[in-house]
Structure 1
Amino acid sequence: MRKENTGCCCAGVKPAVQEKSPRGWNIKYLAAILALGVLWLLAYSGILPASHWLVFGLLGMAPESHWAASLEFFIYDTVKILLLLAALIYAIAWIRASLNVERVRDCLAGKRRGFGYLLGVLFGAITPFCSCSSIPLFLGFTTARIPIGVTMSFLITSPLINEIAVVLLWGLLGWKFTLLYVTVGLLAGAIGGLVMDSIRAERWLQPFIKEAMNATPVHTYVNEMGRARKLTVRQRHVFAYGEMVSIFKRVWKWVVLGVGIGAALHGFVPENWFAQRLGAGQWWSVPVAVLVGIPLYSNVTGIVPVMESLLVKGLPLGTTMAFCMSAVAASIPEVMLLRQIMTIRLQAAFIGYLWIMFTLIGWLFNILDPCIMTMK
């Protein structure tokens, strides 16, 4: 049960000491945030060269080794996701403590829900995240009580589309095919959001997520004099830090385990091995391609060259699209991470929607294959 707004929701802090944050503390806080931000950016940009040096330089593993490929992928993706998780959860929680999130939620709900889906898919399209890296933002949006359909639109679209993939698709398969792919990806995200709202998917979130949603702080509090005052910088930090630590402790081990499984698949089971065994256009090859693609772990930038090679080898366009979209939109690591956020019912609805949507896309593109391939 939610408490009345008679004070700040940051636990352990009484209204009597909430009037002002000392100016000196605010300056130190800003300096610390700037310093940590610079260190975070340096660490994030150095993950790939550091993981490459650790595996091939320090350990001296052979570049063609499957174990080396898996280990490099594991180090890179684990550190990347943990850095994103800590930074994004803190930042979004800080914003939640600073803004009137109810107004944002109301703007994206009700009659404006279609506008919310549009924002969700567009934001997903411009964020260069894979299926796992998009989860910290999805988690932050959810705890901020953004409508579940809008957050699902983001979660579906984010791994499917980014600017680098658009450039690669344009160069390899032509601008018309690229436009079709982007349009289909955006529609898949928007329709997914509509479906999740229609089934009231928020009721199937994990209990701790619902508790975090209910604990969302108001951006003002009532002091002892009965006057409304905004939360101080220190109070916002206390709330954001506590939120970040709580969620990080709950999910970090699943990040490590999930990425470990994904790394094994990445290093030992290449995408081509599966895709080349999916048949030559039979109706069943498309749904099977989607089911086979989901366990894999790839990003859209890495899957574009695979898409080209499969098309060159004669795999039908729709089957190729279904396989590649499912490989980037979902993965075993993502499913394991989402299990900490969603109940089994919501996960089943999410995976089921992706399977149905990508199967329909594959069948449609197989039917239109002769026309589309002449558009290059």
Structure 2
Amino acid sequence: MGFTSAGIPIGITMSFLLTSPLINEMAVLLLLSLVGWQITLIYIFVGMAVGIIGGIFLDLIHAEKLLQPFALKAYQSVQPTIHSSDNKPTLSLYERHEFAKHELLDIFRRVWKWVFIGVGLGAALHGFLPVSWIETNLGSGQWWSVPLAVLLGIPLYSNATGVIPVMESLITKGLPIGTTLAFCMSTVAASFPEFILLKQVMTWRLLAIIFTLLLASFTVVGWTLNAIN
């Protein structure tokens, strides 16, 4: 919402949004100790590629048209100012604080309840993670196990650091590395609770496009890693 109201193109916004939950220094260090530098580099590369390619694609289709009306209005309202060659007015320190306070209250009013609903739903479902079922039914590496693992990760929610112990458990139990990584990336970046929050800014059509990009990317990564291993 902040990026949009500042007039930043939706492709750049989504590159940031897609990459930030997948890659952080703590997750990279934990992953390095768990699966080695080769798989860690693939994970970093894929996370960055998803953000970059997804952002470029969304810019090409002018995805800002698929924002919610209030977000689109905010985006369009600042475009003349951004592209104008006239001297832009400078804000005083007091005016900057007032603007920041207004933005904070506006965003908080719009999303606070959805934060509780989305994260609460993810926390509730997290306790029902069928790890034993995953180990039994997805451990033989069939082609369909990767897309199924991606779909199983959607109702759950975790950050990149919190999902590492789950990844370790699955790998230790014999789940193929590609299937495990696809499941964990889906949990971090394509979870149902996250999309509940994003729905406040995006239309269903834009959410479906982003959702499809993510699921396809994670599935291809899982198949590739399973084939390499």
**TM, length-normalised to structure 2:** 0.89
Partner-residue secondary structure (3-state), 1:255: helix
Aligned-partner Cα distance in 2 for 1:228–1:144: 14
Equivalent AA in structure 2 for residue 281 of structure 1 = G
Query: Residues 275-305 of structure 1, C-alpha deviation per residue, up to 9 Å, x if partnerless?
Result: 3233521111111111111211111112222
Measured after TM superposition, the shift of residue 233 of structure 1 is 2.3
Aligned-partner Cα distance in 2 for 1:327–1:263: 12
Partner-residue secondary structure (3-state), 2:201: coil
Q: Is the CA contact (8 Å cut-off) linking 2:190 and 2:215 kept in structure 1?
A: no
* Structure 2 counterparts to residues 272-351 of structure 1, below 5 A: 272-273=131-132, 275-276=134-135, 277-351=137-211
**Which has the bigger relative contact order, CA under 8 A and spacing at least 6?**
2
Aligned-partner Cα distance in 1 for 2:115–2:14: 20
Aligned-partner Cα distance in 1 for 2:26–2:89: 45
Structure 1 residue 240 corresponds to structure 2 residue 67: no
Q: 2:33 aligns with which of 171, 187, 191?
A: 171
Aligned-partner Cα distance in 2 for 1:184–1:361: 8
Percent of aligned pairs with the same amino acid: 57
Aligned-partner Cα distance in 2 for 1:342–1:213: 13
Q: 2:22 aligns with which of 142, 160, 167?
A: 160
Structure 1 residue 197 corresponds to structure 2 residue 45: no
Structure 1 residue 144 corresponds to structure 2 residue 3: no
Going from structure 1 to structure 2, the CA distance change for 1:273 and 1:347 (only over 3 Å counts) comes to farther
Measured after TM superposition, the shift of residue 159 of structure 1 is 0.9
Aligned-partner Cα distance in 1 for 2:217–2:37: 23
Aligned-partner Cα distance in 1 for 2:130–2:54: 26
Task: Count the aligned residue pairs.
Answer: 223
Query: Residues 63-116 of structure 1, C-alpha deviation per residue, up to 9 Å, x if partnerless?
Result: xxxxxxxxxxxxxxxxxxxxxxxxxxxxxxxxxxxxxxxxxxxxxxxxxxxxxx
Aligned-partner Cα distance in 2 for 1:300–1:241: 30
Equivalent AA in structure 2 for residue 280 of structure 1 = S
Aligned-residue CA RMSD (Å): 2.1
Q: Is the CA contact (8 Å cut-off) linking 1:275 and 1:323 kept in structure 2?
A: no
Going from structure 1 to structure 2, the CA distance change for 1:367 and 1:167 (only over 3 Å counts) comes to same
Aligned-partner Cα distance in 1 for 2:96–2:219: 45
Aligned-partner Cα distance in 1 for 2:110–2:104: 10
Going from structure 1 to structure 2, the CA distance change for 1:229 and 1:195 (only over 3 Å counts) comes to closer
Query: Residues 336-358 of structure 1, C-alpha deviation per residue, up to 9 Å, x if partnerless?
Result: 11010000000111111111111
Equivalent AA in structure 2 for residue 181 of structure 1 = Y
Aligned-partner Cα distance in 1 for 2:88–2:67: 33
Which is higher, the Rg of structure 1 or of structure 2?
1
